[in-house]
Amino acid sequence: MNRYAITGAAGYTGKYIARRLLQGNAEIVNLTGHPRRPNPFGERVRPAPYDFGNPVRMAGHLSGVDTLFNTYWVRFSHGRTTFERAVQNTLALFEAARIAGVRRVVHVSITNPSPDSPLPYFSGKARLEEALRSSGLSYAILRPAVLFGREDILINNIAYFLRRFPLFVIPGRGTYRLQPIYVDDFAALAVEQSHREEDVVMDAVGPETFTFEELVRLLARAVESRARLLHLPPGTAWGMARLLGLLVGDVVLTRQEIRGLMDNLLVTDSPPAGETALSDWALQHADTLGKKYASELARHYRP
Ligand SMILES: NC(=O)c1ccc[n+]([C@@H]2O[C@H](COP(=O)([O-])OP(=O)(O)OC[C@H]3O[C@@H](n4cnc5c(N)ncnc54)[C@H](OP(=O)(O)O)[C@@H]3O)[C@@H](O)[C@H]2O)c1
């Protein structure tokens, strides 16, 4: 029996990685902030709480683990959960992996991380990549752009608003691009990389590149929305997103996320690492896509 650890094994990306590992002879430690939530996998997945304040205790949860799959990160700073805290927490996790003698870390990063980025999402990810590179642990650093799949937030919620409102706001000209990768293609890559020895850093993008406007039009076609697209300056678009946030009780999109999109940080020159085309997937899942709002705050900030 091989032992693995996944941060958020019942979460979004983590669940797909867990499913793939469980096709083999595997048991999984699910490091999570919600150890009491129902476990969709049964006995072969055992929850353990994040012990970020105590790497030695966290190492105890990682005892006998071959590969740690790290998906842990935060989408935005909210209350006491800041990017800086998420960086420190992840450093504690790497330290725990080192203490426990974990063989390899498969770490989920982001396209175009940079220590000089004004966006803490991208600078924090760059700091963590650097920390992992110099940790002495064997690693695969995978850099997805945007993930899509049934449990997705961003793409699902674009479809949600397209279904419900006669207008859809596009920040700026909408010509900035992104390369979505299917979450299960990403999970396959993560599992494949766990079996290797050599250190790897690679982008993980899908086979299609869309401008943001093309993506919105694709989703509108899939869900048969007749919403008019309205181009507004990014600051105004952010104001609209905040209003929508009040309506749905969530943070819909942050100013920094708009900046990251408009700065083309979710696009690369790398060859595709996944085969599934969002243009096909969206049509195949048109009956469920955007039917329900997917809330970041409900997922991570409520019991
Ligand atoms: N989703 C995307 O489109 C996308 C795109 C590019 C890169 N990524 C990267 O892919 C990785 C996985 O993303 P995901 O969307 O699949 O994440 P997720 O499953 O929603 O969360 C992954 C883990 O992070 C924890 N977490 C997330 N937000 C948190 C918060 N605000 N406070 C405390 N803990 C939090 C979760 O805690 P619980 O176990 O308690 O739920 C879970 O253990 C991340 O590193 C992300 O940066 C994602």
Domain boundaries, the chain: 2-147+180-204, 154-177+208-301
CA of 296 to the centre of ligand 1 (A): 10
pLDDT in tens, 150-196: 999 999 999 999 999 999 999 999 999 999 999 999 999 999 999 99
pLDDT surpassing 80 at residue 303: no
Average pLDDT, the chain: 97
76 lines ligand 1 (CB under 6 A): no
Q: What is the pLDDT of residue 302?
A: 82
pLDDT score, position 103? 98
Tokens representing 45? 């997945």
268 touches ligand 1 (CB under 6 Å)? no
C-alpha torsion sign, points 291, 294, 295, 299: positive
161 touches ligand 1 (CB under 6 Å): no
Taking the centre of ligand 1 as the mean of its atom positions, its distance from the CA of residue 166, in whole angstroms, is: 31
Please work out whether the CB of residue 32 comes within 6 Å of at least one atom of ligand 1: yes
Determine the distance separating the centroid of ligand 1 and the alpha carbon of 295, expressed in angstroms. Answer: 13
Is 281 a pocket residue for ligand 1 (Cβ < 6 Å)?
A: no
Ligand 1 atom at minimum distance from 13 CA: 16
Taken in order 290, 111, 175, 179, the sign of the CA dihedral is: negative
Q: What is the mean pLDDT of residues 261-266?
A: 98
Instruction: Decide: 20 and 192 in contact? Cβ < 8 Å.
Output: no
Sign of CA dihedral 185, 188, 193, 196: negative
Counting DSSP H helices and E strands in the chain, the numbers are 11, 13
pLDDT of residue 138: 98
Q: What is the mean pLDDT of residues 284-301?
A: 96
Percent of the chain residues past pLDDT 90, beyond the cut: 98
Q: How confident is the model at residue 249 (pLDDT cuts 50, 70, 90)?
A: very high
The Å distance, Cα 71 to ligand 1 centre, comes to 6
pLDDT at 80 > cutoff 80: yes
Which ligand 1 atom sits closest to the C-alpha of 34? Answer: 40
Query: How far, in Å, CA of 105 to CA of 178, rounded?
Result: 27
Mean pLDDT (whole number) for 198-202: 98
Question: Average pLDDT of 107-111?
Answer: 98
Candidate CATH numbers 3.40.50.720, 3.40.50.300, 3.30.70.380, 3.40.50.1110; the one for domain 2-147+180-204: 3.40.50.720
Separation of alpha carbons 224 and 210, rounded Å:
19
Q: Which of 147, 150, 297 to mutate to test the pocket of ligand 1 (most atoms within 8 A of CB)?
A: 147
Nearest protein CA to atom 46 of ligand 1, as residue: 73
The pLDDT value given to residue 113: 98
Rounded distance from Cα 6 to ligand 1 centre (Å): 11
The pLDDT of residue 102 = 98
How remote is the CA of residue 165 from the centroid of ligand 1, in Å? 28
CATH number for the domain formed by residue range(s) 154-177+208-301? 3.90.25
Structural contact between residues 66 and 2, judged by C-beta atoms closer than 8 angstroms: yes
Report how far residue 180's alpha carbon sits from residue 182's, in angstroms, rounded to the nearest whole number: 7
| 274, pLDDT greater than 90 | yes
Q: Which residue CA neighbors atom 25 of ligand 1 most closely?
A: 72
Residue with tokens 């000209």: 173
What is the whole-number distance in angstroms between the Cα of residue 11 and the centre of ligand 1? 7
Would the CB of 52 count as within 6 Å of ligand 1? no
Please tell me the predicted confidence (pLDDT) of residue 1. Answer: 86
pLDDT at 141 over 90: yes
Among all chains, which residue has been given the structure tokens 């920390």?
Answer: 131
The pLDDT tens digits for 7-62 are 999 999 999 999 999 999 999 999 999 999 988 899 999 999 999 999 999 999 99
Residue 207 has what pLDDT? 98
Residue count (the chain): 303
CA of 73 to the centre of ligand 1 (A): 5
User: For ligand 1, is residue 81 a contact (CB within 6 Å)?
Assistant: yes
Nearest CA residue ID for atom 47, ligand 1: 73
